[in-house]
């Protein structure tokens, strides 16, 4: 498959090189009486040099050879023959051919070298990135696993008389929190794999955005205990055609991120309304916001701010961005004028209004037509 693609790509370079050379020659031929045949050589040489910036060596050699033959046959006196009368024209033709070849080959080689250096740098960056990722994952795994093992040992130990029912309840709660932390880590890794595979396709279905937000609250019940959460959802919002699971996860990651980056008792605001067939969701907090040098990397994979209260592998916001864009939506972040960060989600949606005159048969008919 790769060999076939390479051959097709190489053939395309040959064709374009020949077409460009012939086209430039045709234009020059129409104005050769005005510019002279020596100027034509400069224009043809420039075209070969330009092609060398984009194509590999052999198409450039073909272009250089073809341009030299065309210049000799059509432009150097006597015309329409490869014979050259003047010695100076023979030298010029020889020099043109040599310069065109060297220029094309050297430019192509330099470009290839730069490409190899770029690939080498990319490989080094990838290795560094994965090392950072593995270090982060090992840290994120070690803490909850240690909690689960330690709490389990204490519960199973029969030799500790101080272990009351209340103590056991606290230990079980610690195990539960650690398990949720592990589950969040695994979910993030799996979700990122889905995004990187390129096969993620939202399963659109009618959903109530109120239920989505309620699910987010339930999942983050422990994290939100130390924060003041205010939710403003426009009244009588219609049913919306979304992948409720993806949207819930996207909002969950942003809200969870706010609990990590803001101090206790800080405020988290969620506002949702419909505007011109677009679902607008804003999630803001009154924390410290992002540093100016960090805000551009908020949605970058494996990035997390040094201000975070706990560790992480930096996938949550990147996943949110991917899930929103899978709905053909947009997500942005900015620091607010007073304090804190503000995330804005804008998703074009199809909706269905339910009112007092709602006829379920119309809704069913609409669904059948879409299928």
pLDDT digit string, tens, across residues 84-140: 888 888 888 888 888 878 877 787 778 778 888 888 887 877 676 666 566 666 666
> How far from chain centre, in Å, is Cα 91?
54
User: So what's the pLDDT on residue 139?
Assistant: 60
pLDDT of residue 83: 85
**The predicted structure's pLDDT at residue 70:** 92
What pLDDT was estimated at residue 280?
A: 96
Confidence of residue 201 (pLDDT cuts 50, 70, 90): confident
> What pLDDT does 5 receive?
38
| Structural tokens at position 328 | 């053909």
pLDDT at 360 over 60: no
Are the C-beta atoms of residues 347 and 242 closer than 8 Å to each other? yes
Top-level class of domain 138-197: mainly alpha
For the CA atoms of 217, 219, 221, 226, the dihedral, rounded to the nearest 10 degrees, stands at -90
Cα 329 from Cα 320, distance rounded (Å):
11
Q: What is the pTM of this model?
A: 0.58
Residue for token pair 């709905």: 327
Q: What is the CATH number of domain 205-352?
A: 3.30.565.10
Among the residue ranges 182-191, 196-205, 322-331, the one predicted with the least confidence is 182-191
In DSSP terms, which residues pair with 229 in a beta bridge? 268
Q: Give pLDDT, residue 100.
A: 79
More confident residue, 47 or 154: 47
What is the four-CA torsion angle of 330, 331, 335, 336, rounded to 10 degrees? Answer: 70
**212: confidence class by pLDDT, cuts 50, 70, 90:** very high
What is the rounded CA–CA span in Å between residue 244 and residue 208? Answer: 8
Calculate what percentage of the chain has a pLDDT beyond 90: 24
Q: What is the mean pLDDT of the chain?
A: 81
Provide the pLDDT confidence category of residue 278 given band limits of 50, 70 and 90. very high
Percent of the chain with pLDDT over 70: 85
Question: In the 3-class helix/strand/coil scheme, how is 87-124 assigned residue by residue?
Answer: HHHHHHHHHHHHHHHHHHHHHHHHHHHHHHHHHHHHHH
Give the three-state DSSP class for 159. Answer: coil
pLDDT tens digits for 244-271? 989 999 999 999 989 888 888 899 999 9
Bridge partners for 345 per DSSP: 281, 331
Q: What is the Cα–Cα distance from 103 to 91, expressed in whole angstroms?
A: 18
Least confident interval from 39-48, 85-94, 174-183, 277-286: 174-183
Domain layout of the chain by residue ranges: 2-121, 138-197, 205-352
- The pLDDT value recorded for residue 251 is 95
pLDDT value, residue 216: 92
Same CATH fold assignment for domains 138-197 and 205-352:
no
Instruction: Decide if pLDDT at 206 tops 70.
Output: yes
Using CA atoms, how far apart are residues 80 and 75, in angstroms rounded to an integer? Answer: 8
């Amino acid at each position: 498959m790769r060999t076939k693609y390479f051959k097709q790509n190489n053939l395309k370079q040959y064709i374009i090189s020949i077409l460009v050379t012939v086209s430039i020659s045709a234009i020059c031929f129409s104005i050769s009486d005005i510019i002279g045949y020596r100027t034509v050589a400069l224009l043809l040489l420039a075209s070969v040099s330009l092609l060398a910036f984009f194509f590999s060596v052999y198409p450039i050699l073909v272009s250089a050879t073809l341009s030299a033959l065309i210049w000799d046959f059509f432009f150097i006196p006597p015309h329409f023959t490869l014979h050259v009368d003047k010695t100076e024209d023979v030298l010029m033709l020889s020099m043109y051919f040599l310069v065109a070849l060297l220029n094309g080959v050297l430019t192509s080689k330099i470009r290839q070298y730069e490409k190899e250096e770029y690939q080498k740098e990319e490989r080094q960056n990838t290795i560094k990135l994965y090392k950072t990722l593995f270090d982060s994952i090992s840290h994120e795994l070690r803490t909850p696993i240690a909690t689960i093992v330690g709490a389990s040992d204490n519960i199973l130990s029969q030799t500790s008389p101080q272990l009351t029912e209340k103590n056991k309840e606290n230990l079980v709660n610690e195990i539960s929190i650690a398990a949720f932390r592990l589950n969040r880590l695994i979910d993030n890794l799996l979700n990122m794999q889905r995004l990187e595979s390129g096969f993620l396709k939202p399963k659109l279905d009618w959903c109530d955005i109120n239920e989505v937000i309620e699910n987010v609250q339930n999942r983050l019940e422990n994290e939100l205990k130390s924060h003041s959460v205010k939710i403003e959802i426009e009244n009588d919002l219609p049913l919306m055609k979304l992948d409720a699971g993806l949207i819930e996860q996207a909002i969950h990651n942003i809200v969870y991120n706010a609990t990590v980056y803001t101090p206790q008792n800080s405020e988290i605001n969620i506002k949702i309304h419909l505007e011109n067939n677009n679902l607008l969701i804003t999630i803001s907090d009154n924390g410290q916001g992002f540093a100016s040098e960090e805000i551009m990397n908020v949605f970058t994979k494996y990035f997390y701010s040094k201000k975070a209260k706990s560790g992480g592998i930096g996938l949550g916001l990147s996943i949110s961005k991917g899930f929103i864009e899978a709905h053909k939506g947009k997500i942005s972040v900015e620091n607010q004028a007073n304090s804190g960060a503000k995330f804005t989600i804008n998703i074009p949606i199809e909706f269905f209004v339910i009112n007092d005159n709602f006829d379920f048969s119309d809704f069913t008919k609409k669904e059948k037509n879409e299928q």
